[in-house]
Amino acid sequence: MKTISENRCFGGVQGVYTHASQATGTDMTFGLFLPEGAEDGPVPLLWYLSGLTCTHENAMVKAGAQRWAAEAGIALIFPDTSPRGEGVANDEAYDLGQGAGFYVNATESPWAPHFSMWDYVTDELPDLVFRAFPLEETLQAITGHSMGGHGALTIAMSLPGRFSSVSAFAPICNPSASDWGRKQFTAYLGKDESAWAPHDATLLMRKRGFDGPVLIDQGTADQFIDLLKPEALASAMTERRQGGTFRMQKGYDHSYFFVSSFIEDHIAFHADALMG
């Protein structure tokens, strides 16, 4: 692992690091904010998964999360959204290929050699950071925005017991029934829709639910709301009687202005679940 940068931030340190990934076969970059308390021992960790076109940097710079994480004594990790580099498959469309990994393990050509973002986020990167940094492995939570909200929800429901809480900003809720999902799942996972189900938050909510608190924020003026299908997830949560909160925020769109408006709420929500 190589240190790209480390900057003092709200009493803690915002770092950027790169490492060779076996999961993706490429170098991968991530951001990690450690609050001041990490100088004295391991601290809880909140994962933030970003959306389409993003790198590790978008939320790290735009969400304003470090201030609230510092107050709560929580570390933040910002993984990249896909493998990148020479020889990595890509597409002219912004919603497929580099910057659009969808947090799945691709099985189809030309994506399969590098696009193993599920393994990277759930296995390889956790193993790396818990060995290298003062983080408490038993105290984890997860959140994300858009494609990252999809990733946060599907990962949390698929790994019971790992995360104390899950939240999402404008997640892609029902990708099996949306152009933001059917296109990418066909490309990455093939035409057999049974392979898509483990990566659909609405289907997972109906089948499994989540063994902890859930918080969803969705803007009513989101320009992509018809692709996100929040009503499908809200219905599944109701049908399952899932404990949680689903908030429709009047007038907010899909941007980081929306995320930064409610990130304080989400960090407080996770801090309560992590530390009681």
CB contact set of 28 (below 8 Å; sequence gap of 6+): 18, 19, 20, 21, 79, 80, 83, 120, 125
Q: Find the farthest-apart pair of alpha carbons in the chain and give their distance in angstroms, rounded.
A: 51
Give the C-alpha separation, 1 to 30, whole Å. Answer: 11
Catalytic member of 150, 222, 266, 270:
222
Write phi, then psi, for 32 (nearest 5 degrees). Answer: -140, 120
Q: Are 229 and 173 in contact (CB under 8 A)?
A: yes
Which is the catalytic residue, given 150, 254, 266, 270? Answer: 254
Q: What is the DSSP string of 201-222?
A: HHHHHHHT--SS-EEEEEETT-
Strand ranges in 40-134 using DSSP code E only, listed in sequence order: 43-49, 75-79
199 is catalytic: no
Report how far residue 218's alpha carbon sits from residue 11's, in angstroms, rounded to the nearest whole number: 31
CA–CA gap between residue 233 and residue 239 (Å, rounded) = 10
- 21 catalytic? Reply is no
Count other C-beta atoms under 10 Å from residue 75's C-beta. Answer: 28
Burial 17-46 (b: 16+ CB within 10 A, else e): bebebebbbbebbbbbbbbebbeeebbbbb
The verdict on whether 194 is a catalytic residue reads no
CA 223 → CA 39, 53, 134, 213, 250, distances in Å?
42, 16, 40, 27, 13
Choice among 146, 165, 167, 178 that is catalytic: 146
Q: Which positions are annotated as active-site residues?
A: 146, 222, 254
